[in-house]
């Protein structure tokens, strides 16, 4: 196998220090993969590797895994850190001499490599004969090529990677977007609803461990609970090529699970089964379903993925039950439900101190209580740190723990730490929308608007019905001047997520100076969520823009009366901005910044705050924000 990095020479010429850092990262990522497939590194030639294997199948699988790992890495990397390879694989005799290998096989592998596309793999006919029907990827024969220095003709094939948008791979690619729809509760006790919902979430979590798959988030799929829609309609709305449906019947310690896998394009039933057993068998059932789904989608599981799927999160089923009940309450996000959830998570930890996911749940609960103003920041930070430290001691490869830690770093203004943890979370689970969301915030602060949009697009694709990502993507398009993309997005999302869409459209029409249209969409949002803080602030902003100063000042008094805490400084600042009072605007926005509750992406990109960015005080503010986040140059 011969590998070569695309564009490395030109990078070396333009920025030698950056190129050496990229090369070091390239070597660190690839070498463990070679070992996993029993590859022997013969030599490294700058940005290239020559690797020898005992079998053509190992070599091809290794090449595919290298490109898959790098593809996932590139999705969550800034442009200057991306690594694209071309790989060639050939089978033939070689001569070993003084720690090196020689022969036509080496020459042919090196000549095949340039014929591969970036992120692609080319194999010779000799390799094709050994691996066809043994790997899940399609193999496509290329037009004949003459290979320099090779006297005889060599048939060349390309390995079609899952992300390639070719007709030969389109159906395969679509199928790899999987939605696990809410499992129906068939238990005689309606209070067992939590167990059916827990089964849904557990399968989402397990399938997300398979890095070739992209699994739709729970937030989006739970919108379909109890909704009578056909498979084709749901698949279209979620852009999903495969659906998992099922039901759970729990009676005492006995459980019956039925499950089926459906082609989202044809409604064809690809696979179905049912499982009867005791509650103690539920983890084995979840693992088997995840493995069967992956197998039916022709996904080859790595041994590490198989081991992760088969891992039992706890041996204590009472602790597991408390964990599932706690997660149901956690999703309600009220003060009462969060506090009840926290008690259940803490009980789960007490029953099984080695239950790593329960420790993460405790951390997430404290984080939500703190963000909602229901718990003091000091108590929240201390509790989150203790729980996450214990979770990662128990399981260093727990993606949710790294993702939660990323947000902790972000809240503490440690942007570099937040970015590192978010990327680690995505290495372990590429289907985590919240990690992409955090990278979107980081990119915005770093002044990389295109990267900011790319990350929030990735989050939205994984959670397309979520109000949060619907809103943030529309806002990102608006804030970066992508007007047509924004309008297309809002046209599509108005039915699925009206409140987020109306909020964005209010901003859009205000930025266009159309007060009447802005009022129309503001009224639609207010009707849906009359008590949301945005209603109070935006009402004042609109009145100020319309020249109704007294009404705008009344909105400021309402914000102060609602006692929103330091976050309210932002809303007061925006209304003063709309009134044209820049002194008060910068006074309040600096207060919010000092309290670590400002919204830097809005300050830096929102079209509603253009005039503030023309004020000399703006640059001073941005420098302060960057300094607080460890980004000062």
Beta-bridge partner residues of 242: 178, 263
pLDDT digits (tens, 9 = 90+) for 196-213: 898 898 899 988 888 778
For residue 591, pLDDT over 80 is answered with yes
What mean pLDDT is predicted for residues 438-457? 90
Which residues are CB-neighbours of 35 under 8 A, at least 6 positions away? none
Rounded CA-CA distance 180/203 in Å is 7
Rounded CA-CA distance 452/462 in Å is 16
Higher pLDDT, 18 or 329: 329
Give me the pLDDT at residue 171, please: 41
Give me the pLDDT at residue 153, please: 63
For residue 283, pLDDT over 50 is answered with yes
Give me the pLDDT at residue 263, please: 87
Higher pLDDT, 192 or 148: 192
Give me the pLDDT at residue 150, please: 66
Give me the pLDDT at residue 169, please: 40
Over the chain, what is the mean pLDDT? 87
Name the class of domain 172-312: alpha beta
Give me the pLDDT at residue 174, please: 61
Query: Topology of domain 2-161, per CATH?
Result: Alpha-Beta Plaits (3.30.70)
| % of the chain residues with pLDDT over 90 | 44
pLDDT band at 168 (very low <50, low <70, confident <90, very high): very low
pLDDT digits (tens, 9 = 90+) for 331-362: 887 889 999 999 999 999 999 999 999 999 99
Higher pLDDT, 295 or 353: 353
Q: Helix, strand, or coil here: 412?
A: coil
Tell me the whole-structure pTM to 2 decimals. 0.70
Rounded CA-CA distance 499/472 in Å is 12
Q: Phi and psi at residue 251, in whole multiples of 5°?
A: -140, 105
Buried b (16+ CB within 10 A) or exposed e, 389-424: ebbbebbebbbbbbbbbbbbbbbbebbebbbebbbb
For residue 460, pLDDT over 80 is answered with yes
Top-ranked range on mean pLDDT: pick from 256-265, 304-313, 575-584:
575-584
Phi-psi region of 181 (alpha: psi -120 to 50; beta: other; left: phi over 0): beta
H or E element at residue 44 = strand 40-45
What is the token pair recorded at 86? 């071309």
Which residues are CB-neighbours of 542 under 8 A, at least 6 positions away? 506, 510, 515, 518, 519, 522
Higher pLDDT, 103 or 598: 598
pLDDT digits (tens, 9 = 90+) for 5-58: 887 777 777 778 888 888 888 898 899 899 988 999 888 888 889 999 989 999
Give me the pLDDT at residue 144, please: 63
Least confident of 102-106, 189-193, 414-418: 102-106
Give me the pLDDT at residue 604, please: 94
What mean pLDDT is predicted for residues 161-174? 53
For residue 570, pLDDT over 90 is answered with yes
Domain range list for the chain:
2-161, 172-312
What is the token pair recorded at 601? 């992406």
Give me the pLDDT at residue 167, please: 39
For residue 146, pLDDT over 70 is answered with no
For residue 377, pLDDT over 80 is answered with no
pLDDT digits (tens, 9 = 90+) for 403-439: 999 988 987 878 888 889 999 998 888 899 999 999 9
């Amino acid at each position: 196998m011969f590998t070569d990095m695309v564009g490395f020479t030109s990078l070396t010429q333009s920025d030698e220090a950056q190129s050496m850092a990229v090369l070091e990262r390239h070597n660190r990522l690839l070498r463990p993969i070679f070992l996993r497939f029993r590859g022997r590194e013969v030599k490294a030639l700058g940005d290239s590797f020559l690797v020898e294997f005992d079998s053509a199948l190992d070599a091809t699988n290794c090449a595919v895994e290298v490109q898959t790992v790098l593809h996932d890495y590139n999705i969550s990397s800034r442009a200057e850190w991306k690594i694209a390879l071309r790989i060639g694989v050939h089978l033939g005799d070689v001569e070993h001499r003084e720690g090196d290998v020689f022969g036509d096989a080496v020459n042919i592998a090196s000549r095949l490599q340039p014929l591969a596309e970036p992120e692609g793999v080319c194999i010779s006919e000799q390799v094709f004969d050994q691996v066809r029907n043994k790997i899940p990827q399609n193999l496509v024969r290329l037009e004949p090529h003459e290979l320099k220095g090779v006297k005889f003709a060599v048939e060349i094939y390309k390995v079609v990677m899952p992300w390639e948008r070719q007709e030969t791979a389109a159906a395969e690619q679509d199928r790899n977007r999987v939605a696990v729809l809410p499992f129906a509760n068939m238990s005689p006790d309606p209070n067992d609803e939590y167990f059916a919902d827990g089964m849904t979430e557990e399968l989402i979590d397990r399938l997300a461990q398979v890095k070739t798959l992209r699994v739709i988030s729970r937030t989006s799929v739970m919108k379909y609970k109890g909704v009578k829609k056909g498979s084709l309609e749901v698949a279209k709305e979620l852009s999903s090529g495969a659906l998992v449906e099922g039901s759970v019947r729990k009676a005492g310690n006995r459980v019956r699970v039925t499950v089926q896998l459906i082609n989202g394009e044809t409604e064809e039933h690809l696979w179905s089964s049912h499982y009867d057993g005791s509650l103690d068998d539920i983890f084995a059932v979840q693992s088997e379903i995840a493995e069967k789904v992956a197998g039916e989608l022709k996904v080859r599981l790595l041994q590490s993925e198989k081991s992760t799927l088969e891992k039992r999160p706890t041996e204590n089923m009472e602790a597991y039950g408390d964990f599932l009940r706690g997660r149901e309450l956690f999703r309600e996000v009220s003060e009462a439900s969060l506090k009840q959830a926290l008690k259940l998570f803490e009980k789960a930890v007490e029953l099984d101190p080695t239950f790593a996911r329960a420790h993460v749940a405790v951390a997430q609960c404290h984080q939500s209580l703190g963000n909602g103003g229901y718990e003091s920041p000091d108590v929240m930070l201390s509790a989150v740190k203790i729980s996450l430290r214990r979770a990662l001691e128990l399981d260093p490869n727990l993606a949710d723990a790294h993702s939660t830690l990323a947000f902790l770093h972000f809240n503490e203004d440690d942007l570099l730490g937040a970015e590192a943890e978010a990327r680690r979370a995505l290495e372990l689970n590429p289907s985590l929308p919240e990690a992409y969301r955090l990278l979107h915030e980081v990119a915005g602060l770093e002044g990389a608007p295109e990267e900011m949009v790319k990350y929030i697009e990735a989050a939205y694709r994984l959670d397309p019905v979520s109000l949060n990502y619907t809103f943030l993507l529309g806002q990102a398009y608006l804030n970066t001047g992508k007007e047509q993309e924004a309008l297309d997005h809002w046209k599509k999302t108005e039915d699925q997520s009206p409140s987020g869409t109306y909020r964005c459209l209010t901003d859009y029409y205000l930025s266009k100076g159309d007060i009447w249209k802005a009022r129309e969409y503001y009224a639609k949002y207010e009707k849906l969520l009359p008590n949301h803080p945005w209603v109070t602030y935006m009402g004042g902003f609109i009145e100020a823009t319309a020249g109704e100063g007294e009404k705008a000042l009344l909105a400021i008094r309402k914000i102060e009366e609602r006692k929103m805490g330091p976050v309210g400084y932002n809303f007061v600042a925006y209304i003063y901005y709309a009134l044209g009072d820049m002194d008060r605007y910068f006074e309040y926005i600096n207060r919010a910044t000092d309290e670590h509750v400002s919204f830097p992406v809005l300050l830096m990109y929102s079209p509603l705050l253009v005039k503030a960015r023309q004020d000399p005080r703006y640059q001073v503010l941005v420098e302060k924000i960057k300094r607080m986040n460890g980004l000062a140059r």
